[in-house]
Chains A and B, each alone.
Chain A
Amino acid sequence: MTSITVAETPLLRAVLARADDALVHAHRLSEWVGHAPMLEEDLALGNVALDLLGQARSLYTHAAAIEGLERSEDDLAYLRDAPQFRNLLLLEQPNGDFANTIVRLFLHAAFMLPWWKAAMSSTDATLAAIAAKAEKEAAYHVRHAGEWLIRLGDGTEESHRRSTEALDRLWRFTGEMFAIDAEEEPLIEAGVIPHPAIIRPAWDATVAHVLAEATLARPRDGWMQLGGRRGTHTEALGHLLAVMQHLQRAYPGASW
């Protein structure tokens, strides 16, 4: 089977965006399994990856139902090319060192916890149900990543330096979490997905609290990199998908 192209409605695109976020982030975290700094982290990062993978599967299944073409979660995950992926640029960034991975997880989970909380009252009943489960998982992700960021920031000179570098490297991708496309506005007005502006205060507060404990400075909000939601990605995503999708692409139509 060659690549598929999804005829996106605003709702379909919004659901796919969160599914792609979860899948791409799960992929990155799963790369740590077997290679983490301590056995406990092999387990913990694997756990977070499993949570995100579960969220991705529920969201793809929902997206396929919205699309109504009897496509499967795997069709959506494995047969779309990079420009069809709608994930945030932040989440496709390579793992780098442990500080980079933790900062990436923290910045996103601190956003997703209030996002899922708000989405629990979505007018889309399926999304609300997914949110009810994901909210509990996100709470653990924020706690785990936050505790690690505090340890690293307020640990040794080296861990402080690495955390600072990670924040500086990734901060330019945080603006994308709060950006909205014009086509999302009707969805927000209809109460399907939360307006990112209402997420901002909770995110700012969590970031401020953890960075203070970690003795880390919040980077200045400079120019923000956007494009993931529109399918204009960084170079990292193509490589990630080449690895992830290769079996499905090499054996078209086979079931596994």
Chain B
Amino acid sequence: MYTQALNQKDSGPPAGAPEDAERLARFEARVAADDKIEPNDWMPAAYRRTLTRQISQHAHSEIVGMLPEGNWITRAPSLRRKAALLAKVQDEGGHGLYLYAAAETLGTSREQLVDQLLSGKAKYSSIFNYPTLTWADIGAIGWLVDGAAIMNQIPLCRTSFGPYARAMVRICKEESFHQRQGYEIMLTLCRGTPAQKAMAQDALNRWWWPALMMFGPPDAESAHTDQSMRWRIKRFTNDELRQQFVDATVPQGHYLGLTFPDPKLRFDEASGHWQFGEIDWEEFRQVLAGNGPCNRERIEARRAAHADGVWVREAALAHAAKRRARKAAAQQLAAE
């Protein structure tokens, strides 16, 4: 999920300027030839920064994303749904874990990355600042949010940085499974009672536009896409991916018998694409600026977990140190 970091401006020194021109040319040639860049390879500082930001934001999104869905684990309406949701949220934690590991290969520790999240310096996907109000939201997240994530992530399986590309292969498999699960929840609701179908429609109404925003600002406003495209970190533009998502998703929604909350949505025979209305970019900017419905709750929940866990992590470190000391003392004794 969650390539919104690629829309942020890199604030470091300009790429290539003070760096070795020859190395840079070799790097650019390798990337152009679709070679994978590995952690020990030389890379421009801006490439390293962009990827660290992107991978860590992706990891943070997975971790914060556990909260809105975790909100329904204890209330899942059947044991089968409960098991699937628990496993799904756990998958997300797993994604977070190996994405942090991939980011660490670029030289920033997980502790530093987590500190950046908790201090508000690092971002996570805007989508998780929306609340999960009914069980149908769990279906809608799987169908729309994971669906949008897959559109974003399939191309990342071919991204130029090796560890990220490899992590994405596994993540994409699991996300596809989640997406099908989510759609199946929606299908069950839509074939259920009128109250259940109304629940599904309400969830689509609330999640549709935020899902479209997940792809980031329109290409015209996303000046940072060029370099990321040239370095093959990113392979399609925001608008291209958004259109792919709309084209894939609208027929699925119609099959469910649901109505999209967009009066301008219509199929354009000439282009073969679904045309959609104007996205409320002011809402998007406000959510990114911290003013979404749940920004405060999400970050407070992460901070609370971190703060409440301090004594546990300290205990684990203290115990490990005691063990080492005892082992060293025993070896010393044996040697004497």
Q: Is the CB of A33 within 8 A of B73?
A: yes
**Which residues in chain B, 123-176, are within 8 Å of chain A measured between CB atoms?**
135
Interface membership of B83, Cβ < 8 A: yes
Residues in B whose Cβ lies below 8 Å from that of A41: 312
Main secondary structure of the interface of A (DSSP, over half): helix
Q: Is the CB of B301 within 8 A of A247?
A: no
Residues in B whose Cβ lies below 8 Å from that of A244: 74-75
Between A36, A43, A97, A248, the greatest number of chain B beta carbons within 10 A of the residue's beta carbon is seen for A43
**Which residues in chain A, 24-51, are within 8 Å of chain B measured between CB atoms?**
27, 30-31, 33-43, 46-47, 49-50
Q: Is the CB of B311 within 8 A of A53?
A: no
Interface membership of B264, Cβ < 8 A: no
Interface membership of B87, Cβ < 8 A: yes
Q: Is the CB of A77 within 8 A of B79?
A: yes
Which of the residues B79, B135, B322 comes within 8 Å of A247, measured between beta carbons? B135
Least distance between A246 CB and chain B CB atoms (Å):
6
Q: Is the CB of A155 within 8 A of B67?
A: no
Interface membership of B196, Cβ < 8 A: yes
Q: Please judge, given known A-B contacts A39-B63, A154-B322, whether A33 and B70 are in contact too, CB under 8 Å.
A: yes
The docked-state distance in angstroms from the alpha carbon of A167 to that of B175 is: 41
The docked-state distance in angstroms from the alpha carbon of A23 to that of B94 is: 24
**Binary CB contact string for chain A from 49 to 80 against chain B (1 if under 8 A, 0 otherwise):** 11001101100100000000000011001100
Q: Is the CB of A256 within 8 A of B188?
A: yes
Interface membership of B109, Cβ < 8 A: no
Q: Please judge, given known A-B contacts A43-B93, A56-B79, A251-B195, whether A33 and B66 are in contact too, CB under 8 Å.
A: yes
The docked-state distance in angstroms from the alpha carbon of A243 to that of B74 is: 7
Residue of A nearest to B81 (CB): A256
The docked-state distance in angstroms from the alpha carbon of A54 to that of B79 is: 9
Least distance between A16 CB and chain B CB atoms (Å):
14
| Band of interface residues on B | 35 or more
Residues in A whose Cβ lies below 8 Å from that of B90: 33, 42-43, 46-47, 50
Interface membership of B316, Cβ < 8 A: yes
Residue of B nearest to A246 (CB): B75
Residues in B whose Cβ lies below 8 Å from that of A243: 74-75
Residues in B whose Cβ lies below 8 Å from that of A151: 315-316, 319-320
The docked-state distance in angstroms from the alpha carbon of A34 to that of B97 is: 13
Residues in A whose Cβ lies below 8 Å from that of B318: 155-156, 159
Residues in A whose Cβ lies below 8 Å from that of B94: 43
Q: Is the CB of A98 within 8 A of B312?
A: yes
Between B96, B196, B311, B312, the greatest number of chain A beta carbons within 10 A of the residue's beta carbon is seen for B312
**Binary CB contact string for chain B from 66 to 109 against chain A (1 if under 8 A, 0 otherwise):** 11001001111111111100110110011011001000000000
The docked-state distance in angstroms from the alpha carbon of A97 to that of B252 is: 44
Residue of B nearest to A23 (CB): B79
Interface membership of B193, Cβ < 8 A: yes
Q: Is the CB of B309 within 8 A of A37?
A: yes
The docked-state distance in angstroms from the alpha carbon of A251 to that of B309 is: 38
Residues in B whose Cβ lies below 8 Å from that of A247: 75-77, 135
Q: Please judge, given known A-B contacts A40-B97, A47-B90, A159-B312, whether A27 and B74 are in contact too, CB under 8 Å.
A: yes
A contacts, CB < 8 Å to B = 23, 27, 30-31, 33-43, 46-47, 49-50, 53-54, 56-57, 60, 73-74, 77-78, 97-98, 150-152, 154-156, 158-159, 162, 243-244, 246-248, 251, 253-256
